Amino acid sequence: MIRPFSLVTAIALACLFAIRPAMAQQNAARPHILYIVADDLGWADVGFHGAEIKTPTLDELAQGGATLDQFYVQPMCTPTRAALMTGRYPMRYGLQSFVILPEQTFGIPLDEKLLPQVLKEAGYDTAIIGKWHLGHADRALWPRQRGFDYQYGALIGEIDYFTHQVHGVTDWYRNDKLLKEPGYVTELLGKDAVRYIEGHDPKRPMFMYLAFTAPHTPLQAPQAYLDRYKTISDPNRRTYAAMVSAMDDQIAAVLDALKRKGMRDDTLVVFHSDNGGVKSAMFAGQIATKGAPPASNGPFRDGKGSLYEGGTRAVALANWPGRIKPRKVAEPIHVVDMLPTLAGRAGASLKGVKPLDGSDVWRTISEGASSPRDEIVYNVEMFRASVRKGDWKLVWRTTLPSKVELFNIAQDPGEAKNLAAEQPAIVADLQKRVNVLAGEMAPSSFFQASFKAYLGRHAPGPVFPNDDAFFSQYD
């Protein structure tokens, strides 16, 4: 005969053993996150998109995971990184235009709650290794003040790969302290990521934001990497290819470190570029590069800085063994979707985050389900905008002479045929949507800073932009 207490104990133990597998499965589904961003990488400049540039590590990640064929970002660096960190369009807080220059003092406003803060509150160890470019003049804007437990790399971004300087000033830090050390930037970032993983407790979830500066200008690479591409005659293209291969090698080293630590199967890897590759000399960088820009965006029009597909459709992939089915995902995804998507996988609360423009697209990435997104906002600025609904994309330049273009992206991904004159009703609907968004837009921090700097050097004058509301604040 079983005593009552023993019977109760037996039932309790049975329940406990029944619950434990479910709890273990839930914990196993909470991944480490390795989020890798390349800088100015062309859509066609990876092996899995047919490039002559050798990227075996990225190719393997793509083959074993999801290639995101319609992954959209902002046309330039700072806006894309801000969109990733906030899950919100940068037009909402003044970072929609250009990038933060070394002499400028603004950054992501401090009342924006960022992705690392969200994940840190959920128990993640958070690290940024690489480029920040979201505020450098005030320490309150630095990564460790915005949710990262650990920081290593550049606060601005366009630095010499060997001296780590921009305009003669060293921009290289570890945990808020200026650091002077030798080494090639791409290799230093990879080695530090490996070191961080080696010291990490696998029982604690990790969020690592690995933000390479490659292959952004200046075009520089170690000789050993240049020697891999002796068959490429154009020197810019040769160096650019070498820079991409150096980055691919460092990603391989980081993945190997995860495997050695027993973390790889529990790690969600996301990779994409911050914008399209450079096609215009205007965006070749503050450190001048002679010759033609070397990037290729494949079938897409234009490149970095442009609202066309070449500037905003980024090479991208996601990989998580056993969790993401290998496939090409043709559904539209925007970088603002990544904060809610990652928060969902992490079991993180979105309390305190401002109203998101992004949606959780996990089923789209992992299973190939339809995207919840029916609109792509490429950007809205004082002088131009681009919005897509379904397959119809409007590109609207409002400065004189103004220009309105309409493309059917499904039929014409290269944006060769302007259908605006043939589809006036669609143009009118999309222009109406742009004006609604423009009404929600914060003033551009870049233009505010530039205008104030101009007034500091010159007498007031008719300086761009020609917006009465913008000028009235200086009356």
| Active centre residues (catalytic) | 77, 133
To which residue do tokens 């590759």 refer? 277
**Which residues neighbour 134 within 8 Å (Cβ) at sequence distance 6 or greater?**
78, 81, 82, 85, 95, 100, 107, 108, 141, 146
Side chain identity at residue 170, one-letter code: T
Work out the angle between the directed axes of helices 185-198 and 235-260 (0-180°, nearest 10): 10
To which residue do tokens 């530090």 refer? 192
- Which of 331, 255, 317, 276 has its CA nearest to residue 48? 317
Q: What DSSP designation does 281 have?
A: G
Separation of CA 2 from chain center? 62
Q: What DSSP designation does 160 have?
A: -
**Do residues 73 and 273 lie in contact, with contact meaning Cβ atoms separated by under 8 Å?**
yes
- Which of 296, 337, 291, 298 has its CA nearest to residue 318? 337
- Give the CA-trace dihedral at 382, 388, 392, 396, to 10 degrees: 10
Side chain identity at residue 134, one-letter code: L
Q: What DSSP designation does 266 have?
A: G
**Which residues neighbour 211 within 8 Å (Cβ) at sequence distance 6 or greater?**
36, 37, 39, 81, 128, 129, 130, 131, 132, 153
d(CA 83, CA 259): 31
At 215, give phi and psi (nearest 5°).
-100, 40
d(CA 404, CA 221): 41
**Do residues 64 and 296 lie in contact, with contact meaning Cβ atoms separated by under 8 Å?**
no
| DSSP result, 177-223 | EE----S-HHHHHHHHHHHHHHTS-TTS-EEEEEE--TTSSS----H
Strand order through the sheet with 71-72: 313-314, 71-72, 333-334
**Do residues 281 and 40 lie in contact, with contact meaning Cβ atoms separated by under 8 Å?**
no
d(CA 332, CA 326): 17
**Do residues 246 and 284 lie in contact, with contact meaning Cβ atoms separated by under 8 Å?**
no
